[in-house]
Amino acid sequence: MDVSEKRPRHLCEDCQHDLCQSEYFEQNGLHGSDGSRNGDSNSPGSDVEDSPADIDTVLSAISGLSRQITHFSESLYQKLDSMDERFVSLEERISGLEEKRQSEPGTAETHPRKRRSHNAKLAEAVRRLHNAETNNSRYDPQQGMSSAHNHAVTTSLVQSLRTYPDFQRVESGVLISSCKTYFETIRRNFRYQQPHLAHKAASQKNSSKSRARRKRLLLARQSVLKAEELELWRGVTTELMSDEEDGELDGTFGWIVRRPSFRSEELGDLCTALQSRLDSTRKFNATYHQRLRFGPDSDRPPPSNYSADAAKRHFKPEALPVILE
């Protein structure tokens, strides 16, 4: 625009004085009541009031969009749950790789590194040392076993274990394995404390409880076997024992027994005889809960593999597992 070009003059109709633009528009009625220019289709004051049909259309569109957002959110949460399960699986696989990488240099050639320690006394010592009030260095479940912090905790625990006379001659690999086992317990408990895994934590807890009860039942029945029953019993595992679930009958709390559906009739008869001997002993009755009644057969699947020598004696023909020679 040329700076020398002048704006057109607007003169007052009464006194012929120059008027500014706003005064000129006001004098000639070019401003609306809201201050906008009349005839300006883009001004707020010129909008035509929406009809009821237009409002219904807008509300219908908003409702449809809301349903789409709800459906998308549900689909997203399902995908997140699936991803979480995959992350848990990956953590377990990474944990195994970390365990191999954490082995001490030179020990692999002299002795194989043990993956898990089954020494109950050692496991209890690790737990007590880690949770002692005087111990200020504890595992962080949000970090991996190979992190600098958790590695320092393991080193400290191993050094403390070495001060015990019972563990001075224990191999370093066994001590580290015990520490790692306890770390995985801490990390698993932390993971199951998350709200989105509450149902899985409850399922895992019930499964562990049932497995422990079957193991206890197996050991108790073995203690009352007769010589002529050893051949049939040989090779029996905890999977062949009945599930004992918490229940109530006529105000009495105890266990509801659910037999495995795949157990052979011959083995079932032997288990019944052994249980009768146990029920007649004062020690067993004083130690274990009362078996109230038998419920429906357990829906637990048969084991994935079994001994070829014992499978035909212990399983129904239609429920034989994969045979291991």
pLDDT digits (tens, 9 = 90+) for 104-130: 444 444 444 444 556 788 999 999 999
Give the per-residue pLDDT at 269. Answer: 95
Largest CA distance in the chain: 134
> How far, in Å, CA of 97 to CA of 120, rounded?
25
Q: Of 171, 152, 298, which Cα lies nearest the Cα of 238?
A: 298
Q: State phi, psi for 231 to the nearest 5 degrees.
A: -65, -45
Give the per-residue pLDDT at 103. Answer: 46
Calculate the alpha carbon distances from 279 to 124, 184, 266 in Å: 32, 38, 20
> How far, in Å, CA of 316 to CA of 325, rounded?
19
**Structure-block tokens of residue 101:** 């990488």
Nearby residues of 270 by Cβ (< 8 Å), 6 or more positions away: 229, 232, 233
Give the per-residue pLDDT at 46. Answer: 45
Helices (H) and strands (E) in the chain, counts: 11, 5
**pLDDT tens column, 243-257:** 999 888 888 888 899
> How far, in Å, CA of 123 to CA of 120, rounded?
5
Give the per-residue pLDDT at 3. Answer: 47
Question: Helix, strand, or coil here: 259?
Answer: coil
Strand order in the sheet with 252-258: 243-249, 252-258, 291-294
Name the pTM for this structure.
0.48
Give the per-residue pLDDT at 17. Answer: 62
Which parts of the chain sit beneath pLDDT 50? 1-4, 30-35, 38-48, 103-115, 325
Give the per-residue pLDDT at 104. Answer: 42
* Burial annotation 184-211 (CB, 10 A radius, 16+ → b, else e): bebbbeebbeeeebeeeeeeeeeeeebe
**pLDDT tens column, 187-217:** 988 888 888 877 877 887 888 888 999 999 9
